[in-house]
Structure 1
Amino acid sequence: MDAATQVCWLCRRPLGERIEYHHPVPKSRGGRETVPIHPICHRTLHRTFSNAELALFGASAAAVRADPRIGRFLAWIAKKPPDFHAPTHGRR
């Protein structure tokens, strides 16, 4: 599947030229599977959740999307173009 037909694991928008790969279950927690994701979505996940929290979601994108912080992000990013970039704020 080429980038034009792939969608982001988190926001489900089409992917652009820049694609990163996210481990839904962090490598530090034994995860091996990777999923394609926008860089801004990837950074938002890691700014919002610790690896321990991500491991609790497992591979369930729906569970991640159900978090209100991610829901606000998804509503904001929904109409942005695939290669949209903005600084990612949050805890670190």
Structure 2
Amino acid sequence: METCPLCGRELIDGPSVNEHHLVPRSHRGRDKVRMHRVCHNKIHSVFSEKELARYYHTWERLLENEEILRFVAWVRKKDPAWYDRHDPRRRR
């Protein structure tokens, strides 16, 4: 069973899963990791690509952040296949 490296819930193939570069591609990151789409979106809503490249490029460092910890505590209660269909980047 494959699990999300951020929240620890099971990964179920489908729209709830996508890939994350721990070091953003814009900063020459190459390695991708499968994780929940909602967890991936949360990371990018909290940190800039510069912050991700400079400091928050490990799971341990991401989990040092209070907002990420609160999110993980909340999302762990959700079904592993759940994802938020609302994309905040599309707001007008």
TM-score range, shorter chain: 0.7 to 0.9
Match of 2:2 in 1: 6
Preserved contact between residue 20 and residue 40 of structure 2 (Cα < 8 Å): yes
Preserved contact between residue 8 and residue 36 of structure 1 (Cα < 8 Å): yes
TM-score by length of 2: 0.83
5+ residue gaps in structure 1?
Answer: none
* Residue from 13, 22, 27 that aligns with 1:17: 13
State the 1:57 CA deviation.
2.9
After superposition, the Cα gap between the structure-2 partners of 1:58 and 1:67, relative to the gap in structure 1 and judged at 3 Å, is: closer
5+ residue gaps in structure 2?
Answer: none
State the 1:22 CA deviation.
0.3
Show structure 1 runs of 4+ deviating over 4 A. Answer: none
TM-score by length of 1: 0.83
Match of 2:60 in 1: 62
Greater strand content: 2
Cα deviations across residues 63-86 of structure 1 (Å, max 9, x unaligned)?
A: 101100100000101121111123
* Percent identity between the two aligned chains: 35
| RMSD over equivalenced CA pairs, Å | 2.0
